Structure 1
Amino acid sequence: MHDLFDLLIRNADIVDGTGAPRFPGDIGIRGDRIERIGDLAGRSGRTEIDLGGRVAAPGFIDAHTHDDRLMLSGGDMAPKVSQGVTTVVGGNCGISLAPMPRPIPQPVTPPLNLLDDQGGWFRFPTFASYLQALREQPAATNCAMLVGHTTLRVATMENLERPATPDQVARMRALVQEAMEAGAIGVSTGLFYEPAVAAPTEEVIETCRPLKDFDGLYCTHMRDEGDRVIESLEETFRIGREVGVTVVISHHKVIGSRNYGRSEETLAFIRRNMALQPICLDCYPYTAGSTILSWDRAASSARVIVSWSKGLPRFAGRDLADVARELGVSQEEAVRRLTPAGAIYFRMDEADVQRILQFDDTMIGSDGLPHDASPHPRLWGSFPRVLGHYGRSLGLFPLETAVHKMTGLTAAKFGLADRGVLREGAHADLTLFDAATVDEAGTYARPIAPARGIDTVVVNGSIVWREGRASGARPGRVLARQAAGGGR
């Protein structure tokens, strides 16, 4: 007599996350691990799900998020689990909730205000205290967390419009050391953003020195994704070489109409340098990005949608051009009145997005902003959009490749052991979906909408999303980076 599985998934079309062809089978889960994969017709489970030929895949891993606060303030993680995400990588673009060893200066410096515009959530003096909060109050998803360089600058500097002094660099480096010892997986930068623009390459290198001892990652929203994108890639690769670590190019893109088509050049440059040093990249499947509102960004965009505004909150979700007309002012003046605010910027070419998505080593990251009043639809829809719109409808890649880009590839690059694959002994993170219908449901006009075709989502053996609703379970864990050589 066999023991009952805790969860038994029958009649699955198994896409295992490795890129290998799908195959039919059953999956038996006990505790937080996959115990058996195969023909389990003679076995039973305390909970059973008959997929009737629908897909069982590893839970999706969001390579680029800003969920640092959401995991504590909205722990059901509905924007993520509803689209099949079981693990989030947070602390990106130089923006992390910790460490903040002093009261955060007011008003909260953009873009840190994307996490909390009041400042109360920046209450963790050390990275260890933040991770402890995540462990004591688990979210529905797992997380792997980066420490943000801009957060370090705000924590240690009074004047962000200049390079850090040697003493300030030393203090930032000590905070990185503490974060890595506590369990951070690396450092992120947002050299594109005003509070870090003044940071020279050498400041970043010296701040990141502790990473090598932990095999940490250097993840970056590069200094320029437009006219000087190649120079920014060169800077990124130099930082990786001098620190001695893997680099991750965040949300790779080329922006501005003058740069349409340059992804051919950037991807070729990235591929050449991959032969010389470890390089990763992720992207989101849209031609529009989203961040804080500024006139410089708006002026170079084909279209701008206001995603939130402190000055004029009633205009969230409206086109900037319409806002300016309604106010009877120029768009530049409208930006001034709306600020502080966020925006969605249409600045990319569809052909570039498709080319970057198809690049063999590209991971998927949503870059969603969960606290925006009218967020970019990528927050709720990135992963189903890759599967549905780009995979099934446009045929950019087969389903097995699409799933690999959001599971096995990401787990391998970020060092998340026993995640991102369906195999016996692996952690039981799964997404069960209908390959014929899966897609995003949100739009720019109505962005908050659970995806279509996602049936059930399982994190560490517990169901967190089922039939269109969060279950209330909070089985998420803080994940460490497993070094390629078997170290930390």
Structure 2
Amino acid sequence: MVIDLLLRNATVIDGTGSDGFPADVAVEGGRIARVGRIEGVEATRTIEAAGRIITPGFIDVHTHSDGPLLRQANFAAKTSQGFTTELLMLDGIAYAPVSAENWREWFVYLRALDGLRLDDYRGWTTIEDYMRCVDGATAQNALPLVAYGNVRALVLGFGPGPIDDYQSMLVSGEVARGMRAGAAGLSTGLDYLAQWHATTDELVDACRAIAPFSGIYVTHVRYKRGLRRALDEAVDIARRADVPLHLSHLKAVGDMSADDLFEFLGKCEREVDVSFDLYPYQSGSTMLHFMLPYEVWCDGPLATLPKLADPQVRRRVAEGLQRHRVQLDRIRIAWVTTADNKIHQGRTVAQYVADTGRSPADALCDLLIEERLAVLAVFVEGDDEAAFPLLEHDRFMLGSDGIFFAESAAHPRVCGSATRLLQRAVQGRTRRSLGGIIHRMTQFPAERFGLTERGVVRAGYWADLVVWNPEQVADRATYENPNRMSAGIDFVLVNGTPVVDNGAVIEFQNGGAPGRRLWFRA
């Protein structure tokens, strides 16, 4: 028998949390055929992996890859650091489901999140439509969630509601439709479009629609209203709906320290089945229009643009900046669309305001008008070391929250999250063992999000594998140079096919990429 690939003389850290052990790994037909000392087997290709570690492929449970996966078959920013699976449609905002009436609204709103161009956009009316486009078109496997903002907008539009019983039934039906298309649960972003007006009761009803499927409630909580209050609401929703709770990009900000969050999580575990994700950086990143008052969005993003010229709206923006004590010198312009404004990428909003000679509110509104809302920002929130205590928690898993633009000053988390954490673990700078850290990047998220036969180096499982050098692994992306690819990742396999080969990211053409759309299996 001749197998496809044999990886020899490696140390295998299998994803279960155990320490590494010496082994060979045989791959055949996209799956792991054998793990152990393998003799007397011929292989089409043999890779000598002495001094290397083999782990399962890393699973990114918080992404904004919905656009990049359609434009970049190899998605080098992620593939080069060992990610093999992406969870999509986070924060309750996505490209599907949409309607013939509102798809342009979503295109405009999301432009600064992943840069999808109009000629790439198909106005996918269902999650199934979108996932068919991803299947075989990318080097990453992909698993969807149901984005609540999209569902609510289909039923109520972008206004505040309130939602009545009939509309609640329609929302539940649309959520169930997404679950039948393989979604792992319901995502919300309660500071984002079409969601900030959602009541707790309304969200409980929506979550009850995922309960029969054993789905997970994945939430970006109402950070703008205070983290403590927002987390209490999330627990209340999950408890009342009787569904597991996953907290997106949880970190110590505002009114809660890391110690407060450890205490909260201990209490939370006694009430609901909880997990959370985080990236190994303290600063955040999102669309600059996140800073606008909620009411400017109630008629949809296309109507928001002319509103930004209204003096009354600008007064509201100014009041918000003052009320929240926004430090414009700690907000950096990361990406814009127009050539004229590219010179401002990498500069702070304070510098931009000073250059314009206008008031902060006028300068911000004018920039958003010029860019048709498409401005990405990085929000400096303290020393990155502040993020690491929570990465030691039992319920942690890795989510990069990565937003990628090729020519930008974007956040380095998109290119460096996995390798930054690996390097820290290899250097003994985590309380958990390297095996424990790998578990939280592989088997734990695979089991949490229903990815069967993935997340462990085990015979019969799909061959999503990373071969890496512990002496060289490192994140190289920085806030000054955010698009530098990681070091030390030698080989990455997705469903048995190399997507990184001897450190080089493979190019794929004409739909020949090995990534697949995945289905949630409870």
- Given the two structures, how large is their TM-score scaled by the length of structure 1? 0.91
Total equivalences in the alignment: 476
1:104 aligns with 2:102: yes
User: Which runs of structure 2 are paired with 1:262-277 in the superposition (5 Å)?
Assistant: 262-277=257-272
1:358 aligns with 2:403: no
Determine the structure 2 residue equivalent to 1:307: 334
Measure how far apart 1:413 and its partner are.
1.3
Which deviations, in whole Å up to 9, do the C-alpha atoms of 1:80-117 show, x marking residues without a partner? Answer: 11110001111100112211132326554775332456
Kindly provide the amino acid, as one letter, of the partner of residue 273 in structure 2. P
Measure how far apart 1:249 and its partner are.
0.3
Which deviates more, 451-460 or 365-374? 365-374
SS class of match (2:209): helix
Determine the structure 2 residue equivalent to 1:416: 451
Kindly provide the amino acid, as one letter, of the partner of residue 194 in structure 2. P
C-alpha change, 1:288 and 1:401, in structure 2 (3 Å) is same
Kindly provide the amino acid, as one letter, of the partner of residue 355 in structure 1. P
C-alpha change, 1:307 and 1:401, in structure 2 (3 Å) is same
C-alpha change, 1:326 and 1:14, in structure 2 (3 Å) is same
1:401 aligns with 2:401: no
Which deviations, in whole Å up to 9, do the C-alpha atoms of 1:250-304 show, x marking residues without a partner? Answer: 0101224xx4x61211222112221332111110110111101145589157621
Query: What is the alpha-carbon distance in structure 1 between the residues aligned to residue 382 and residue 329 of structure 2?
Result: 9
Which deviations, in whole Å up to 9, do the C-alpha atoms of 1:205-254 show, x marking residues without a partner? Answer: 22232201111111000012x77322211211121122221111001012
Cα RMSD for the two superposed structures: 2.3
User: Which runs of structure 2 are paired with 1:44-83 in the superposition (5 Å)?
Assistant: 44-83=42-81
Determine the structure 1 residue equivalent to 2:280: 285
Query: What is the alpha-carbon distance in structure 2 between the residues aligned to residue 157 and residue 396 of structure 1?
Result: 48
Query: What is the alpha-carbon distance in structure 2 between the residues aligned to residue 68 and residue 436 of structure 1?
Result: 33
C-alpha change, 1:471 and 1:239, in structure 2 (3 Å) is same
SS class of match (2:134): helix
Which deviations, in whole Å up to 9, do the C-alpha atoms of 1:104-152 show, x marking residues without a partner? Answer: 26554775332456666261112222222223x4311111110111122
C-alpha change, 1:87 and 1:117, in structure 2 (3 Å) is closer
**Percent of matched pairs sharing the same residue:** 32
Query: What is the alpha-carbon distance in structure 1 between the residues aligned to residue 158 and residue 69 of structure 2?
Result: 31
Kindly provide the amino acid, as one letter, of the partner of residue 305 in structure 1. R
User: Which runs of structure 2 are paired with 1:330-369 in the superposition (5 Å)?
Assistant: 330-339=359-368, 340=373, 341-348=375-382, 350=384, 352-369=386-403
C-alpha change, 1:313 and 1:173, in structure 2 (3 Å) is farther
Extract unaligned runs of 5+ from structure 1: 484-488
Determine the structure 2 residue equivalent to 1:168: 167
Determine the structure 2 residue equivalent to 1:459: 494
C-alpha change, 1:318 and 1:298, in structure 2 (3 Å) is farther
Determine the structure 2 residue equivalent to 1:482: 521
C-alpha change, 1:105 and 1:9, in structure 2 (3 Å) is closer
Kindly provide the amino acid, as one letter, of the partner of residue 284 in structure 1. Y
SS class of match (1:234): helix
Determine the structure 2 residue equivalent to 1:36: 34
Query: What is the alpha-carbon distance in structure 2 between the residues aligned to residue 372 and residue 416 of structure 1?
Result: 30
Determine the structure 2 residue equivalent to 1:232: 230
Which deviates more, 110-119 or 57-66? 110-119
- Given the two structures, how large is their TM-score scaled by the length of structure 2? 0.85
Which deviates more, 148-157 or 439-448? 148-157
Kindly provide the amino acid, as one letter, of the partner of residue 327 in structure 1. T
SS class of match (1:13): strand
Which deviations, in whole Å up to 9, do the C-alpha atoms of 1:38-75 show, x marking residues without a partner? Answer: 11243231111111221111000001111122222222
Aligned 8 A contact 1:301 1:346 in 2: no
Query: What is the alpha-carbon distance in structure 1 between the residues aligned to residue 349 and residue 12 of structure 2?
Result: 45
Aligned 8 A contact 1:157 1:168 in 2: yes
C-alpha change, 1:298 and 1:405, in structure 2 (3 Å) is farther
Kindly provide the amino acid, as one letter, of the partner of residue 443 in structure 1. T
Determine the structure 2 residue equivalent to 1:486: none
C-alpha change, 1:118 and 1:450, in structure 2 (3 Å) is closer
C-alpha change, 1:129 and 1:415, in structure 2 (3 Å) is same
User: Which runs of structure 2 are paired with 1:242-261 in the superposition (5 Å)?
Assistant: 242-256=240-254, 259=255
Extract unaligned runs of 5+ from structure 2: 292-320
1:385 aligns with 2:420: yes
Query: What is the alpha-carbon distance in structure 1 between the residues aligned to residue 325 and residue 77 of structure 2?
Result: 27
Measure how far apart 1:352 and its partner are.
3.8
Which deviates more, 421-430 or 270-279? 270-279
Measure how far apart 1:438 and its partner are.
0.8
Aligned 8 A contact 2:283 2:384 in 1: no
C-alpha change, 1:450 and 1:8, in structure 2 (3 Å) is same
SS class of match (2:388): helix
1:7 aligns with 2:22: no
Query: What is the alpha-carbon distance in structure 2 between the residues aligned to residue 317 and residue 162 of structure 1?
Result: 39
Aligned 8 A contact 2:168 2:206 in 1: yes
Which deviations, in whole Å up to 9, do the C-alpha atoms of 1:431-486 show, x marking residues without a partner? Answer: 11111121111111211121111101001111011122224251111112221xxx
Aligned 8 A contact 1:169 1:203 in 2: yes
Which deviates more, 349-358 or 278-287? 349-358
Query: What is the alpha-carbon distance in structure 1 between the residues aligned to residue 425 and residue 37 of structure 2?
Result: 32
SS class of match (2:334): strand
Aligned 8 A contact 2:392 2:430 in 1: no
Query: What is the alpha-carbon distance in structure 2 between the residues aligned to residue 298 and residue 474 of structure 1?
Result: 47
Kindly provide the amino acid, as one letter, of the partner of residue 280 in structure 1. S
Which deviates more, 44-53 or 388-397? 388-397
Aligned 8 A contact 1:108 1:118 in 2: no
Kindly provide the amino acid, as one letter, of the partner of residue 274 in structure 1. E
SS class of match (2:167): helix
Determine the structure 2 residue equivalent to 1:207: 206
Query: What is the alpha-carbon distance in structure 2 between the residues aligned to residue 119 and residue 471 of structure 1?
Result: 24
C-alpha change, 1:391 and 1:276, in structure 2 (3 Å) is farther
Which deviates more, 149-158 or 415-424? 149-158
1:144 aligns with 2:121: no
Aligned 8 A contact 2:98 2:126 in 1: yes
Which deviates more, 204-213 or 99-108? 99-108
Kindly provide the amino acid, as one letter, of the partner of residue 505 in structure 2. R
Aligned 8 A contact 1:391 1:397 in 2: no
